[in-house]
Amino acid sequence: MRILITGGAGFIGSNLAEALLNDPRVTGVRVLDNLATGSRKNIEPFLSNPKFEFLEGDIRSYETCLNACRDTDVVTHQAALGSVPRSINDPLTTNEVNITGTLNIFTAAKESGIKRVVFAASSSTYGDHKALPKVEDTIGNPLSPYAVTKYVNELYAKVYADLYGIEYIGLRYFNIFGPRQNPNGPYAAVIPLFAEALLKSKPPVINGDGGHSRDFTYVDNAVQANILSLFTTDSEAVNQVYNIACGQQTSLLQLFEGLKKEAGISMDPVFGPERKGDVKHSLADISKAQRLLGYQVKVSVEDGLGKTFNWYRQNPF
């Protein structure tokens, strides 16, 4: 199978590329990335692999997407502009990348005869629906432009399946973390920010009182979900959206304590204002992914934090 990974030089995409290159069922991995939030450094180890191909380009260009889909069997679409705060500050660019870019990929896949598109959806789709744990078929109103874009991706996927017969699988990620997640920039995620601060012996800033909780999920679990989705032959498993998480709630303070333990230092955080558009609590019901995809939580939050902190210690940004 020949696989296109959009956003393959990014955090999740590069971890996925590494796993697919080591999969004997895969004959070729093509990565499309504009390197806006991804990094050439993430894919440098793969450049000498004869199964690997890198295309530098932007999913906002339909011609680029069409070219990337050439001679490809399936697509795993990871390219996106993440971050709720970024989408609040710049909704137009978030919309262009996440909606227009995704529509370009879906359409290019259709025109290229690609049978299946797996795509990165988001837990932000649950919006203001307060019930926990989150179950796939019950969502609320979106709380940010980012959340709107990720929900629209799901709507387009279903329409393309109904109209054109393309198979899709949407993976609603819940706060994925792990190696290669960049701590730099104004929209960096919380775990790399905490890790970088601890490695520099500087107290990190926690937005709010530290009571916000998330279903933090180590990247290997997200990679596993993508591979299961790409290769499943179960007709019931396709044209579905799945929660991809650990099914475990961790507060920001608990997260900081876990990383502090890994660092072996004692330090108190600095508390800042809450972020606009943030959901207070999040927790996934992962039973659907377990039942239909065979998804399993292979790396716990605790083990993932240890692996991640050690990676940052050995690979300073």
Q: In the annotation, is 146 catalytic?
A: yes
Q: Helices 101-111 and 62-69: crossing angle, nearest 10°?
A: 40
How many CB atoms sit inside 10 A of residue 104's CB? 22
Q: What is the pLDDT of residue 268?
A: 87
**DSSP secondary structure letters along 135-200:** -TT------SHHHHHHHHHHHHHHHHHHHH--EEEEEEE-SEE-TT----STT--HHHHHHHHHHT
Q: Distances from the Cα of 171 to the Cαs of 142, 176, 229, in angstroms? A: 17, 12, 9
Instruction: Please pick, among 62, 126, 146, 168, the residue that the annotation labels catalytic.
Output: 146
Structure tokens at 110: 């259709």
Q: Which tokens sit at 147?
A: 């959340």
For residue 116, give the H/E element and its range: strand 116-122
Q: Find out whether 238 and 168 touch, Cβ atoms under 8 Å.
A: yes
Tell me how far apart the 2 most distant CA atoms of the chain are, in Å.
57
Q: Identify the helix (H) or strand (E) that includes residue 243.
A: strand 240-244
- Judge whether 282 and 125 are in contact, CB under 8 Å: no
Residue with token string 């399936």? 74
Residue 69 near residue 131, CB atoms below 8 Å: no
Q: What is the pTM of this model?
A: 0.94
Amino acid present at 28? G
Q: How far apart are CA 262 and CA 141, in angstroms?
A: 38
Q: What ranges do the domains of the chain cover?
A: 2-179+216-247
Query: Of 220, 259, 284, 153, which Cα lies nearest the Cα of 11?
Result: 220
Q: Which pLDDT belongs to residue 253?
A: 93
Tokens of 124: 């932000």
Q: pLDDT digit of tens for each residue in the chain (317 aa)?
A: 999 999 999 999 999 999 999 999 999 999 999 999 999 999 999 999 999 999 999 999 999 999 999 999 999 999 999 989 999 999 999 999 999 999 999 999 999 999 999 999 999 999 999 999 999 999 999 999 999 999 999 999 999 999 999 999 999 999 999 999 988 877 678 899 999 999 998 888 888 888 999 999 999 999 999 999 999 999 999 999 999 999 999 999 999 999 999 888 888 888 988 877 777 889 999 999 999 999 999 999 999 999 999 999 998 77
Cα dist from 144 to 80, 95, 191, 207, 284, whole Å: 15, 11, 21, 17, 20
Is 76 within 8 Å of 5 (Cβ atoms)? yes
pLDDT, position 96? 98
Residue 4, H or E segment: strand 2-6
- Cα(31)–Cα(52) distance, integer angstroms: 8
Question: Cα(43)–Cα(15) distance, rounded to whole angstroms?
Answer: 9
φ/ψ of residue 118, rounded to 5: -95, 135
CATH 3.30.310.50 holds for 2-179+216-247: no
d(CA 302, CA 299): 8
N residues, the chain: 317
